[in-house]
């Protein structure tokens, strides 16, 4: 590992033409002789935040570089066999946190295995500064090019706020990048604020908030908690609210309602800030409802509360953070149908702007039927990058989806590499018929539980295995959850097994005090789960938990259903299977202690196998909790 400095090599440095193939079999990129651009502007100091330590350990076959660049810190990872390509990654919004940090892309291991260098900046602020993120990432490109020579090909990618930053970079930095890959990004800060304003307006309409009441309120943010949210407790009112929001954010589409449920609390948190700061504005906006909502558009427009903008604050928040549509390079975007944070209407707005700017041929959009914000598997992200590279380097424009249609109900499956829960494809994966359903009451310290997440473990043969099909909510002390069988996910339900549930009490993870016997593959059972904040371990056992992606010897993602084992000496201490469904393609494994399985000693080294092949990585069975660990077969 080495610490890279900001010393610049000659601006004339260019890498030679690379026509050979790298060790992974990918063709090396051939550069065009282009001069280095003038350095991008970067703030000399961070903007009211501390900078996290950027130090990190390189993967095998690569070198870690890290350091400070102006008011940012950065990371670069260089493969020993570099293919001449660079991918720069831009992370999401850090919610005004006290420390700006660097985030590696989820597909980092794939990049290194295939000869790509990657880099990422912390940015100089934790505010929603997509335009600045694009600029400061361009400055990192400058540093890389002056240190290593101009890459033969450069790509920029970003997630959430970083997705918006990638839209902006695709307009500003054609002198640096050859293509951009944007995931779940808004069309701009102003466009994002407009969607959250419509969210507030929909809630106020259903709650019966009048313009006079709104204008008279000394604290308009208090209307959310005092008037809107209490009204939305009624199930009929909430369904009406959902219908309006779905219409205002792209119309009918898979997982729209589920995505709203996942993100509604977070969106209301943002809405409070927005309405209090004066960023909420809908003066002159005409809303169009239908076909989901039965509220007439003219009625809604007549009765919708109207808000005016705080021009001074808006000028600071919006300036430089909008995508104009004037693309200067190929841009491939990825968006989930049910995204409740950055709804799919933002992708539709982007398309309209790009077409209006005459750059429609440079935009390809893909949508994925999923409920989550940025709910893509890592292999789907890699697939997007591969499609972008083929577009830029071979002229093969990738296929995409048409977002101009009003009804997207049948959309979102074309580019999925893993089926999502609740679909026929997910119900047809190997072993799916063995899933069981548990339902009943849930209490915490004697009171009915309300929780966003409820999961399940199976305890069998001394081992503990995470086995929920999906995480589910607990509402009013009642739940229903599906648990996987061993045939679908190794170590899960089977003869002699017992199921315990887990949730969170504040920031503390707690397990049910009792278990229920496995009811038999395909069965169901009633289980009234009790949790105690004073005895959080409940019926579970101390384990060391790991999760991450799994890779084959050639650096590709292991297929769904790949078996992962954790062994200490000759003892089998944990087993798992890479997921077959959902937006996570990796594994989760819990490693037992010697008190549960003989030989699974605390403090001992754990060896992992991937479908029987030894993994390069090892770990320690410390029994203290959870950690991320990608595995690669040797």
Average pLDDT over residues 7-24: 32
Query: Residues 92, 159: contact at Cβ < 8 Å?
Result: yes
Mean pLDDT of 219-227: 91
Q: What tens digit of pLDDT does each residue of 487-529 get?
A: 999 999 999 999 999 999 988 999 999 999 999 999 999 999 9
Q: What per-residue confidence (pLDDT) applies to 2? A: 32
Q: Would you place residue 6 in the very low, low, confident or very high pLDDT band (cuts 50, 70, 90)?
A: very low
307-316, 479-488, 546-555, 580-589: lowest mean pLDDT where? 307-316
pLDDT at residue 438 above 80?
yes
Q: Is the pLDDT of residue 15 over 80?
A: no
pLDDT at 31: 61
362: pLDDT strictly greater than 80:
yes
Quick check: 344 pLDDT over 80? yes
Report yes or no: 502 and 511 within 8 Å, Cβ to Cβ. yes
The CA distance from 140 to 156, in Å, is 11
Given a cut of 50, whether residue 413 has pLDDT beyond it is yes
pLDDT of residue 201: 96
Quick: pLDDT tens for 414-431: 999 999 999 999 999 999
Tokens of 149: 């020579």
Q: What is the pLDDT of residues 280-337, one digit of tens each?
A: 889 999 999 999 999 999 999 999 999 988 888 888 888 889 999 999 999 999 999 9
Residue range 381-405, pLDDT digits in tens? 999 999 999 999 999 999 999 998 8
| pLDDT confidence tier of residue 278, bands split at 50, 70 and 90 | confident
What does the DSSP 8-state code read for residue 367? Answer: E
What's the whole-number mean pLDDT along residues 458-469?
A: 96
Work out the percent of the chain whose per-residue pLDDT is above 90: 87
- Which DSSP string corresponds to 88-157? EEE----TT-SEE-----TTHHHHHHTT-EEEEE--S-SSS-HHHHHHHHHHHHHHHHHHH-B-SEEEEE
Given CA atoms 231, 298, 195, 181 in this order, what sign does their dihedral have? positive
Residue 93: predicted pLDDT: 94
Residue 440 has pLDDT above 50, yes or no: yes
CB atoms within 10 A of CB 470: 17
- The two three-digit tokens of residue 101, written as one number: 């940090």
CA angle, 258 as apex, 254 and 259 as ends, to 5°? 85
How is residue 35 annotated by DSSP?
P
Would you say the C-alpha torsion 324, 326, 329, 334 has a positive or negative sign? positive
Question: How far is it, in rounded angstroms, from Cα 62 to Cα 79?
Answer: 4
Which pLDDT belongs to residue 26? Answer: 61
Token pair of 614 as six digits: 């030894």
245-271 tens-digit pLDDT? 999 999 999 999 999 999 999 999 999
Q: What is the pLDDT of residue 309?
A: 86
**Which of 33-42, 590-599, 621-630: highest mean pLDDT?**
590-599
Task: Give the domains, in start order, of the chain with CATH numbers.
Answer: 50-188+331-394 (3.40.50.1820), 189-316 (no CATH), 426-531 (2.60.40.1120), 544-632 (2.60.40.10)
- At residue 10, the pLDDT reads 29
- In this predicted structure, what is the pLDDT of residue 540? 93
Cβ neighbours around 104 below 10 Å, total: 16
Q: What is the pLDDT of residue 16?
A: 30
Low-confidence winner among 13-17, 123-127, 259-263, 521-525 (lowest mean pLDDT): 13-17
Distance (Å, whole) CA 334 – CA 400: 9
Mean pLDDT of 120-148: 97
- Once rounded to an integer, what is the mean pLDDT over residues 542-556? 95
Q: Helix H segments across 289-377?
A: 297-303, 311-318, 345-356
* Confidence category of residue 13, pLDDT binned at 50, 70, 90: very low
Give me the chain's average pLDDT, please: 93
Q: Which of 24, 16, 23, 26 is nearest to 393 (CA)?
A: 26
Task: Name the band, by pLDDT with cuts 50, 70 and 90, for residue 32.
Answer: low
Least confident among 13-22, 98-107, 551-560: 13-22
State yes or no: pLDDT of 484 exceeds 50.
yes
For 386, other C-beta atoms within 10 Å of its C-beta total 15
């Amino acid at each position: 590992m080495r610490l890279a400095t900001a010393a610049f090599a000659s601006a004339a440095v260019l890498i030679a033409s690379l026509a050979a193939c790298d060790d992974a079999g990918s063709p090396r990129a051939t550069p065009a002789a282009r001069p280095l651009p003038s350095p991008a502007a970067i703030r000399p100091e961070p903007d009211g935040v501390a900078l996290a330590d950027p130090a990190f350990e390189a993967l095998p076959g690569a070198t870690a570089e890290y350091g400070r660049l102006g008011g940012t810190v950065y990371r670069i990872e260089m493969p020993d066999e570099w293919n001449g390509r660079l991918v720069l990654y831009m992370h999401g919004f850090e919610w005004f946190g006290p420390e700006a940090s660097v985030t590696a892309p989820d597909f980092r291991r794939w990049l290194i295995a295939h000869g790509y260098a990657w880099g990422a900046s912390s940015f100089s602020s934790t505010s929603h500064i997509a335009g600045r993120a694009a600029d400061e990432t361009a400055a990192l490109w400058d540093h890389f090019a002056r240190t290593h020579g101009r890459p033969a090909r450069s790509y920029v990618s970003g997630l959430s706020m970083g997705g918006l930053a990638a839209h902006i970079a695709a307009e500003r930095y054609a002198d640096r990048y050859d293509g951009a890959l944007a995931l779940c990004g808004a069309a701009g800060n102003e466009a994002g604020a407009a969607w959250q304003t419509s969210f507030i307006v929909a809630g106020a309409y259903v709650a019966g908030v009048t313009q006079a009441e709104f204008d008279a309120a000394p604290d308009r943010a208090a209307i959310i908690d005092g008037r809107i949210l209490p009204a939305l407790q009624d199930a009929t009112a909430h369904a009406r609210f959902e219908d309006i929001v779905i219409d205002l954010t792209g119309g009918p589409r898979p997982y729209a309602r589920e995505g709203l449920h996942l993100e509604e609390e977070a969106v209301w948190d943002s809405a409070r800030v927005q309405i209090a700061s004066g960023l909420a504005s809908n003066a002159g906006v005409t809303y169009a409802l239908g076909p989901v909502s039965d509220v007439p558009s003219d009625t809604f427009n007549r009765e919708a509360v109207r808000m005016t903008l705080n021009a001074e604050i808006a000028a600071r928040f919006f300036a430089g953070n909008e995508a104009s549509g004037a693309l200067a390079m190929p841009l491939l975007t990825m968006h989930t149908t049910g995204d409740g944070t950055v709804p799919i209407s933002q992708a539709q707005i982007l398309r309209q702007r790009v077409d209006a700017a005459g750059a429609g041929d440079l935009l390809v959009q893909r949508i994925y039927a999923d409920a989550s914000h940025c709910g893509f598997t890592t292999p789907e992200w890699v697939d997007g990058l591969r499609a972008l590279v083929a577009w830029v380097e071979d002229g093969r424009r990738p296929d995409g989806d048409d977002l101009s249609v009003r009804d997207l109900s049948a959309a979102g499956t074309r580019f999925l590499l893993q089926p999502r829960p609740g679909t026929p494809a997910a119900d047809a994966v190997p072993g799916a018929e063995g899933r069981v359903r548990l339902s009943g009451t849930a209490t915490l310290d004697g009171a009915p539980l309300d929780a966003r997440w409820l999961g399940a473990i199976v305890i069998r043969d001394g081992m503990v295995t995470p086995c929920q099909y999906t995480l589910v909510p607990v509402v009013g002390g009642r739940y229903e959850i599906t648990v996987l069988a061993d045939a679908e996910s190794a170590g899960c339900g089977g003869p002699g097994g017992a199921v315990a549930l887990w949730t969170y009490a504040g920031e503390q993870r707690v397990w049910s005090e009792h278990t229920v016997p496995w009811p038999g593959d395909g069965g169901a059972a009633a289980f009234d789960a009790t949790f105690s904040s004073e005895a959080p371990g409940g019926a579970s056992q101390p384990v060391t938990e790991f999760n991450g992606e799994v890779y084959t010897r050639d650096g590709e993602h292991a297929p769904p259903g790949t078996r992962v084992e954790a062994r200490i000496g000759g003892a089998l201490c944990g087993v798992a299977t890479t997921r077959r469904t959902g937006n996570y393609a990796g594994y989760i494994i819990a490693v037992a202690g010697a008190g549960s399985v003989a030989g699974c000693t605390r403090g001992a080294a754990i060896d992992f196998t991937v479908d029987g092949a030894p993994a390069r990585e090892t770990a320690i069975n410390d029994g203290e909790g959870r950690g991320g660990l990608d595995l690669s077969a040797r």
